Structure 1
Amino acid sequence: MKAFASCSKWLPLALGLGAWAAVACSSEPSQTPPPGGNGTAGTNVGTGGSAVGTAGANTQPTAGTPNNGTAGSSIGTGGSTSTGGASTGTAGAGTAGAGTAGAGMAGGSGDGLFGGYHTSGDWSGFAFAFETAPATISPKNFESMVGVDGPYCVKGTVPGTAAYTSIAAVGVHVNQLQGKDAEIKTLVPQGDGLSVDITVKGGEKTIRVQLEGPMALTDPLQRWCTNLTANASGTIKEVVPWGSFNTECWVAEGGAAYTKQPIARAIAYVPDSGVVGTDYQYDFCLNDIGPDSVTGRGTGSVVASCGNSVTWSSASLSGTQDAQSAGNAYRAQANFWNPVNGSFTMSLLPGAGFKLDTQSCKTTTASPCSFPSVYVGVDGSGDRSTGSLPKVASSITSIPTCMGWSSGGTPKTDEYNVSFDVWFNSNAQASEAEEFLMIWYRDPPSFQPAGMFPVANGVVVGGQTWTLWHGPNHQGRKTTSFVAPNGIADGMAYQFDLMDFINEAAERGYITKSKNLIAVMGGLEVWGGGQGASITGFKTEIK
């Protein structure tokens, strides 16, 4: 038998991702709209707020800056539903009063894909849009943006009301897992300030950006805002120091400054003018928002290719066949180790990669049909490449690594991942792993990594943001998986130092560095589909 992949553990969609995620409900007023960017928030009613002026009168805004009261919290619980179904959300309430209910949808579509997921630094969570009548907004959600992180574009009208109760906004949760009805958590922001990138395409040029704590619905002191105005080309792109946010940004030098209290979300919106008959048209895109200068572990980058070139001993493989490069520095394996049905063939590529020319196997079990891959070290049959492996992990200083891939036009619903599979064993001559580390470039819709649920999200390693999983695989062996929430490097390549991932896992107690690193593999775990997908390049060096 050839090399086993560490084997993702399958969570049937029939169970719903709510099996591991808390459901937002109306008894939790601090919860925002349903996750997934897939539902309209509950209503958002703002405090009237006194503007600066004589006898309580509103002064005229300067340079288009809104001079109005606090917008209410963006919090309003969207109703929980079965996957893809619509329901009525619980009304959100601002300080000034209650609004009407918003319509919500459960996160995700019927095919298990989740759109509108945003990552920036150590922030990760679903994007959402909402409005409070009489304001209008379009679109209502971002559920169609599968595997795409922005821009989150909205447009509509914010009519003026005497009580400042009209608002339309787009926002992101800062600590939320990627799943149906995922719990909305908080974090303390890192870095020097908030990096904001907005393009104003038309209408009102001043956008209010607001940070919100977990109790922002009922506590106006958990809403910190600032007003940003686009330049002549419609661009807002700046880093706002955390201390520049305050609880009354519509009053000069008013309110309490933000001092890095825990936050649950950030929103960008056009506030109510406070004058009946004065309506604001808006049309803007939230391109990116998140903490500036967050330093994770190590660096990495998406590049055009890995720059490797090899000559293979065979042109194509199928079944359990394998091949080696000239000098045996790299090996390739078809690795059709779970042939429940169908077949596949692969052609080998000069970048030390391969392409799935045909693929007809399909399974719904935890074990994939195959793990076609390129590797250094050893496989499950004991075949070995030449080079530096095995080697005790703690004695390794760095492992410069690169892998490129292409979906080749395969549908997003195809059931395959693109992943590294890294093996560790206390026996240097072993041909199987006691512990696994995986890095997923692509996450299939119906299968998850080993473990019942993620152990962390917003984990920054190698210049990217990852969701971290840990748990036993189908063989009961410890498996640690770093998953790119929106996928990474399709049509390109991602280069990084593999030791950064090993060290991150080891410091969390998941990988034992006193064990030997015996294999580094890169390929596709295939449960179904994938014909035409390829690993375009593979390169690694043990130092």
Structure 2
Amino acid sequence: MFSLSSVFVGLLCVATASAQLITGAFTCEAAGEYTLCQNLWGAAAGVGGQNSTLISTSGNEVSWMTNWTWANGPNNVKSYANVESSTVKGAQLSNITSVPTAWNWTYATKSSDIRADVSYDIWLGTTPDGTPATTASSYEIMIWLSGLGGIQPVGSVNTSGIQIGGHNWTLWSGPNANWEVFSFVSADGDITSFTSDLNDFFEYLVANQGVSTSQFLQAIQTGTEPFVGSADLIIESFSVSLS
């Protein structure tokens, strides 16, 4: 019997023959309404390598994959291969009604020693535009759909038993450089098919964690942070929009 994942991997082999391969440490490529970036920002903390591949785009949907092998520095993130929306940004939280998103992904392969997350990385700031992880950043909001190998987000546990979008989350929080990090970590295990409204997470932070509605949505990125191990991560489809 053939599984859906094995069928997809078979189709992937055909698709990637003409797909856009990215090998540079900080190479980025346009991907429809998104930008696909390698961002091997922590590679110096270990030994290994990583490549990413744009498979296809259609409207506000993108499909891509990344494969890596990393060793040493088991507590250090090596990269954040990701796609960033080119259109869902610049709005003030007070003016946002809905941010619907859907993300379907799978590990085609993964080693037994893998330490990695699969996550949203969302940036808020005091101006409509600004580069993530700079002085323009006020808040980094992560949503971990997967966290393997015992890894932990920045900071410490803030609140447990949060229910948002039909899933259960543990909220971690703590400072990083000049911004505050809030990380919603799945308490339901891997969420490989995720459909939600990101505005529900924003509204929770406004109501419970003191985030101001005057903050602007500066970037929505989605990807993976590997620490060690090896894997082939396939993003079968990802989309996000804003209203």
User: If the TM-score is normalised by the length of the shorter chain, which range does it land in?
Assistant: 0.7 to 0.9
Higher helix share: 2
Within 5 Å, give how 1:90-109 maps onto structure 2. Answer: none
For 1:520, the equivalent position in structure 2 comes to 220
For 1:352, the equivalent position in structure 2 comes to 62
Within 5 Å, give how 1:330-409 maps onto structure 2. Answer: 330-340=34-44, 341-350=47-56, 352-360=62-70, 362-366=72-76, 368-376=77-85, 385=86, 387-409=87-109
For 2:22, the equivalent position in structure 1 comes to 317
For 1:501, the equivalent position in structure 2 comes to 201
Change (3 A) 1:505 1:362: farther
Is contact 1:414-1:529 (8 Å) kept? yes
Q: Are 1:457 and 2:157 counterparts?
A: no
Comparing both chains, which one has the higher relative contact order based on Cα–Cα distances under 8 Å and sequence gaps of 6 or more? 2
- Alpha-carbon deviations, 1:189-218, whole Å to 9, x = none? xxxxxxxxxxxxxxxxxxxxxxxxxxxxxx
Within 5 Å, give how 1:121-520 maps onto structure 2. Answer: 315-318=20-23, 319-326=25-32, 329-340=33-44, 341-350=47-56, 352-360=62-70, 362-366=72-76, 368-376=77-85, 385=86, 387-411=87-111, 413-432=113-132, 433-452=137-156, 454-473=157-176, 475=177, 477-490=179-192, 493-520=193-220
In 1, Cα distance between the equivalents of 2:205 and 2:68? Answer: 36
Within 5 Å, give how 1:528-543 maps onto structure 2. Answer: 528-543=228-243
Sequence identity of aligned pairs in percent?
Answer: 24
Aligned length: 216
For 1:426, the aligned partner's letter is: T
Moved over 6 A (4+): none
Can you give the 5+ residue segments of structure 1 that lack an aligned partner in the other structure? 1-312, 377-384
Q: CA deviation at 1:322?
A: 0.9
- Alpha-carbon deviations, 1:464-505, whole Å to 9, x = none? 1111111113x2521111111242333xx2110000011111
Can you give the 5+ residue segments of structure 2 that lack an aligned partner in the other structure? 1-17
**The residue matched to 2:211 in structure 1 has which SS?**
coil
Is contact 1:416-1:530 (8 Å) kept? no
In 2, Cα distance between the equivalents of 1:530 and 1:394? Answer: 41
In 2, Cα distance between the equivalents of 1:417 and 1:388? Answer: 23
Higher strand share: 2
Q: CA deviation at 1:349?
A: 2.4
Q: CA deviation at 1:369?
A: 0.7
User: Based on CA coordinates, which of the two structures has the bigger radius of gyration?
Assistant: 1
In 2, Cα distance between the equivalents of 1:361 and 1:320? Answer: 20
**Length-normalised TM-score, structure 2:** 0.81
